[in-house]
């Protein structure tokens, strides 16, 4: 298993010297990947929870890749997640190819379709068409990456015999780890993606039901659970096992070899005490009529985090990104809190985690993709 760090690129203070200190600590701990988030435009209420300093995900990736190169630290870079329909695919293909080049072929594309209606409206996009746009945009980009001279003819993108000039370092292209759950996302993974990126998972791996009111549970669609097992009380690992079996059906249907690469993030406030005064650290507001967001970091003991990581490894997770809380906590400021948690990770978690420091095993690429030359 690979262990990475999801950095607080959403925070206004995570620039310059503080960011340098955190990345230098990640290098010292031999963390194998750096993960970013993606938001372009939000309502002021949503921005409180999502982060009022969020920088553009691709610009930030290039910046932090440069910082890492300067300190001789060469992690993989990924996103949880980047919303594919939010950016023109031709431009995005060139940007991604450039960053794959800057990271020497260590970019993983944590792709998704988005879930914020207000952002789609502001960008002049149909929220209901976002999944169709995702399929077409990704296929367009794959065509541009695979072919020095490419043509693509679709409902949203149309060009013939053109080139973006820069090629990705990875061939045929950087792996696409798709973050979405349901029959259509799982079909997408089976058809042409390289892996699965479940949403942020519970650090305690406790039993839960994912069937609830619309807008409150991610597994509820049109009055029914997305999958039958969403109405069952399952732990996160049990539910992921069911999901992976479902994905495998699509993987086999499209004649894929190997297995989907599975990566996930764990969001928590790491502690070595059992007697903390609070159970979580959070920030966010709620406004009637808006899809609200509250960033929540459950306070998790280091031993519980070790058990959770081992449990994910046992069900086939290949890559875990830890997203530690980066707010003020007790007597610690934001930087101090984050660095303290990384110290706890180094002392209590990493030595007990099933870590593989070798290169990522080869990804599985589809032999042919409908709509891609």
Whether 113 maps to a domain, the answer reads yes
CA distances, 231 to each of 168, 214, 216, 271 (Å)? 42, 14, 14, 32
Q: 219-248 burial by CB neighbour count: b if 16+ within 10 A, else e?
A: bbeeeebbbebbebebbbbbbbbebbebbb
Is it the case that residue 130 has pLDDT exceeding 60? yes
Find the mean pLDDT for residues 218-241. 78
Q: What mean pLDDT is reported for the chain?
A: 91
pLDDT of residue 226: 84
User: Rounded to a whole number, what is the largest CA-CA distance in the chain?
Assistant: 64
DSSP conformational letter for 273: -
Residue 244's domain comprises: 2-352
Task: Compare 210 and 215 and report the one with higher pLDDT.
Answer: 210
Whether 361 maps to a domain, the answer reads no
Whether 370 maps to a domain, the answer reads no
Whether 145 maps to a domain, the answer reads yes
For 10-36, what is each residue's pLDDT tens digit? Answer: 999 999 999 999 999 999 999 999 999
Q: Is 132 left (phi over 0), alpha (psi -120 to 50) or beta?
A: alpha
Tokens in use for 71? 């300190």
pLDDT-derived band at 216, boundaries 50, 70, 90: very low
For 324-371, what is each residue's pLDDT tens digit? Answer: 999 999 999 999 999 999 999 999 999 999 999 998 988 999 998 988
pLDDT-derived band at 45, boundaries 50, 70, 90: confident
Whether 372 maps to a domain, the answer reads no
Whether 167 maps to a domain, the answer reads yes
Whether 347 maps to a domain, the answer reads yes
The angle formed by the CA atoms of residues 91, 92 and 96, to the nearest 5 degrees, is 125
For 46-68, what is each residue's pLDDT tens digit? Answer: 888 877 889 999 999 999 999 99
Tokens in use for 182? 């349901």
How many domains, in total, are found in the chain? 1
Tokens in use for 183? 């029959």
In 10 A of CB 82, how many CB atoms?
22
Helix (H) or strand (E) holding 313: helix 302-314
Distance CA 224, CA 209 (A): 13
For 269-319, what is each residue's pLDDT tens digit? Answer: 999 999 988 888 888 877 787 776 778 899 999 999 999 999 999 999 999
Helix 236-253, helix 302-314: angle, nearest 10: 30
Task: Compare 225 and 274 and report the one with higher pLDDT.
Answer: 274
pLDDT of residue 290: 75
Distance CA 16, CA 335 (A): 12
pTM, 2 dp: 0.94
Find the mean pLDDT for residues 255-263. 95
Whether 320 maps to a domain, the answer reads yes
Find the mean pLDDT for residues 121-143. 96
**Residue 130's domain is classified under what CATH number?**
3.20.20.30
pLDDT of residue 200: 65
pLDDT of residue 166: 93
């Amino acid at each position: 298993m690979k262990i990475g760090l999801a950095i607080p690129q959403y925070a206004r203070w995570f620039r310059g010297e503080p960011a340098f200190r955190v990345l230098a600590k990640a290098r010292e701990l031999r963390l194998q990947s750096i993960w970013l988030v993606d938001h372009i435009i939000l309502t002021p209420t949503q921005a409180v929870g999502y982060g009022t300093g969020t920088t553009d995900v691709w610009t930030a990736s290039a910046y932090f890749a440069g910082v890492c190169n300067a300190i001789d630290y060469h992690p993989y870079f990924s996103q949880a997640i980047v919303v594919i329909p939010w950016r023109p695919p031709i431009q995005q293909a060139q940007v991604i190819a450039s960053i794959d080049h800057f990271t020497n072929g260590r970019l993983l594309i944590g792709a998704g379709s988005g879930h914020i209606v207000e952002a789609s409206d502001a960008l002049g996009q149909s929220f209901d068409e976002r999944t169709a746009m995702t399929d077409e945009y990704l296929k367009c980009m794959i065509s541009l990456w695979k072919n020095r001279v490419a043509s693509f003819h679709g409902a949203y993108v149309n060009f013939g015999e053109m080139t973006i000039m820069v090629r990705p370092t990875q061939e045929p292209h950087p792996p696409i780890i798709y973050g979405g759950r349901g029959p259509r996302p799982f079909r997408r993974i089976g058809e042409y993606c390289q892996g699965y990126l479940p949403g942020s998972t519970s650090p305690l791996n406790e039993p839960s039901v994912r069937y609830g009111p619309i807008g409150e549970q991610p597994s509820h669609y049109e009055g029914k659970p997305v999958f039958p097992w969403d109405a069952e009380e399952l732990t996160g690992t049990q539910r992921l096992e069911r999901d992976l079996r479902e994905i495998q059906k699509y993987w086999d249907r499209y004649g894929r070899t190997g297995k989907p690469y599975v990566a996930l993030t764990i969001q928590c406030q790491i502690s070595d005490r059992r007697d903390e005064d609070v159970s979580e650290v959070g920030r966010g507001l709620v406004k009637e009529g808006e899809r609200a967001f509250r960033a929540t970091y459950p306070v998790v003991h280091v031993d519980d985090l070790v058990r959770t990581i081992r449990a994910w490894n046992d069900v086939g997770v290949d890559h875990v990104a830890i997203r530690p809380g980066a707010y003020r906590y007790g007597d610690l400021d934001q930087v101090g809190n984050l660095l303290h948690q990384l110290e706890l990770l180094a002392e209590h978690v990493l030595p007990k985690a099933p870590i593989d420091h070798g290169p990522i095993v080869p990804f599985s690429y589809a032999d042919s993709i409908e709509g891609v030359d």
